[in-house]
A and B are shown apart, each in its own frame.
Chain A
C-alpha cells in the first residue's frame, strides 16, 4: 500500500524567508503520480502541481519550486521569498497507476504560517 509522509506538522517563518515543505512517499508501483495541494484559511483545496514518476525534472513556477528525487522518494516544495498569503495547509498526495480511488492518498499536511 502507498503512503505519504509530511514530517513537518507546522512551520512558521517570517515574510521574505524561503521555506521548504518536505514530502516523502512509499509505493511499489513503477508508475505513479505526485501532487501538491494548498488549503488556505478559507478552506478550499487548490491544486498546485502534478508530477509523474518518469519526469524527475525540477519545476519552477514563480516563487514556487518542486524538487522530485526518486532516489530518496521525496517530492519537496520550496517557497521563495514567502508572503503572508502563502499561509495555508499544504498537502502532498500520491496516486498509483494501479488500483482505484483509494490509491489517491494524501499526506497529513503541513501548516505554514508566514508572519509579517
Chain B
C-alpha cells in the first residue's frame, strides 16, 4: 500500500545552500499539496499543483521558494539560499481530484529541514 512518499525525511543545510524536497503522490493521485509546519505551530498551506501546472501558490513566499510537478517524476519543493527561519517540517499531500470534489488529502511522513 504505497502512500505518499517524501524524501528525504531529514535534511540539514547550511545557510545559503539549496534544499530540494521530493514528493511522490499516492498511486492514482494527480493533485499535490505542500504544507509547512513551523515548530510548535499548525499547518500552513503553501502550494497546490496538478501535473505540469501550479494551480494555487498563494501560500508560497515570494522569493527563494518554488515548486513543480512535472509530467514524469515526483513533485519538487525547492528552497534556494536557505535561512534559519526555513527550518520546519514540510508535508506533501495528494488527492485523486481537487478540493472542489471534497476529496480527502493524504499526507506523506514529512521532510524535516534544519538550517544550521
- Asked if A and B are interacting partners, one says yes
Q: At the interface, yes or no: B55 with Cβ under 8 Å from chain A?
A: yes
Q: Determine if B65 is an interface residue (Cβ-Cβ < 8 Å).
A: no
CA distance A46 to B81 in the complex (A): 32
CB within 8 Å for A96 and B107 given contacts A45-B91, A91-B42, A101-B55: no
The number of A-B residue pairs with CB atoms under 8 Å apart is 70
State the interface size on chain B (CB cutoff 8 A). Answer: 28
A64→B92 CA distance, assembly (Å): 26
Chain B residue at minimal CB-CB distance from A43: B110
Q: How many positions in chain A have a CB within 8 Å of any CB in the partner chain?
A: 28
Q: Given that A43-B89, A99-B99 are known contacts, is A104 also in contact with B42, CB under 8 Å in the complex?
A: no
- Residues from chain A with a CB closer than 8 A to the CB of B12 are none
In the bound complex, how far is the Cα of B93 from the Cα of A35, in angstroms? 14
Contacting pair B102 A101 (CB below 8 A) = no
Minimum CB–CB distance from A114 to chain B (whole Å) comes to 19
Question: Which A residues touch B33, using CB under 8 A?
Answer: 101, 104
Q: Scan residues 48-96 of chain A and give those whose CB is less than 8 A from a CB of chain B.
A: 50, 52, 91, 95-96
A-B contact pairs, 7 of them (CB 8 A): A33-B102, A43-B109, A43-B110, A47-B107, A99-B99, A100-B55, A108-B42
9 closest A-B pairs by beta carbon, nearest first, are A101-B48, A45-B107, A100-B56, A33-B102, A101-B56, A108-B42, A106-B43, A44-B109, A95-B99
Where the two chains meet, the residues of A that have a C-beta atom closer than 8 Å to any C-beta of B are 31-33, 35, 37, 43-47, 50, 52, 91, 95-109
